[in-house]
Amino acid sequence: MLRTPPQLFADFEAGLMTREQLHVAMAFHARNLIEEVAEARENPVAAWWEGVLARKFASRLAARHGERRIRAIFSALADVPDFMPAQWLWNAHHPDVPLFCFLRLRKEPIFRLAHVENQAGIVTVTIEYGAAEKHETTREEFTLAHKRYGIGFEVTGRRSLN
């Protein structure tokens, strides 16, 4: 599984990787970002439409559940070790990055929240990610609980819905 930049820096600080290995791993992330920008430039109409849909979806999520809660959910999911969309969510706690940037509604690999439910401080989130075709999309349900100390959530349960 691809490690996120915070995980890479933690590995480096713990002495598990050299500076050169860190640079190679971070260069991989940089290349992926550059490829995304190049794809958007090649097909600006599709990129614009994806942005419009993501903004609307993010606005609806923020109105229903609050932007801080959605960011906390995304941040908790980014810490799940074998969760493929973590590579897009690792900086979700940062308020300067717009919420819609983390959603991929039509462009593969997709990432969207299908359902969010909060009951007595326990949040259950259904996530869809992977292929755009409905029968090929991976659906998982995560149970999150408030962290004992601090702000945010921690994942306490995970189950596949496929």
Encode pLDDT of 77-116 as tens digits: 998 888 889 888 989 989 999 999 999 998 889 999 999 9
Query: What residues does each domain of the chain span?
Result: 43-160
List Cβ neighbours of 66 (8 Å cut-off, separation of 6 or more): none
Strand-pair partners of 110: 130
Encode pLDDT of 37-54 as tens digits: 999 999 999 999 999 999
122 conformational bin, left if phi > 0, alpha if psi -120 to 50, beta if neither:
beta
pTM for the model stands at 0.86
